[in-house]
Amino acid sequence: MLQLRPSCECCDKDLPPDCEDARICSFECTFCADCADGRLAGICPNCGGGLLPRPRRPAHLLAKYPASNQRVHKPAGCPPVPSA
């Protein structure tokens, strides 16, 4: 089950469970759309995988399967992905 992490690893922007602005890789590294589509060019800086829109968990299931409250943040921000 997805953790639905609450924030962007780069800029620490809040990303609530119903947010359409969240992007994740296959390891659930989580970023906002601005960071993912901009400075990261759709590539996870941690694993090199692609960043895709995070699925939303239906509101009626959040009580039984709550989102994570563990924030993962890189205080120095995320470096831009080098151009190929």
- CATH fold label, 1-64: Herpes Virus-1 (3.30.40)
Taking the model in full, what pTM does it have? Answer: 0.85
Average pLDDT over residues 37-52: 93
The whole-angstrom separation of Cα 37 and Cα 65 is 29
Q: What does the pLDDT look like over 6-41, one tens digit per residue?
A: 999 999 999 999 999 999 999 999 999 999 999 999
What is the pLDDT, as a whole number, of residue 70?
87
Give the helix/strand (H/E) hosting 79.
none
pLDDT of residue 77 exceeding 80: no
- One-letter amino acid for residue 49 of the chain: G
50 in Cβ contact with 29 (< 8 Å):
no
Structure token digits, residue 38: 């901009």
Domain boundaries, the chain: 1-64
- One-letter amino acid for residue 17 of the chain: P
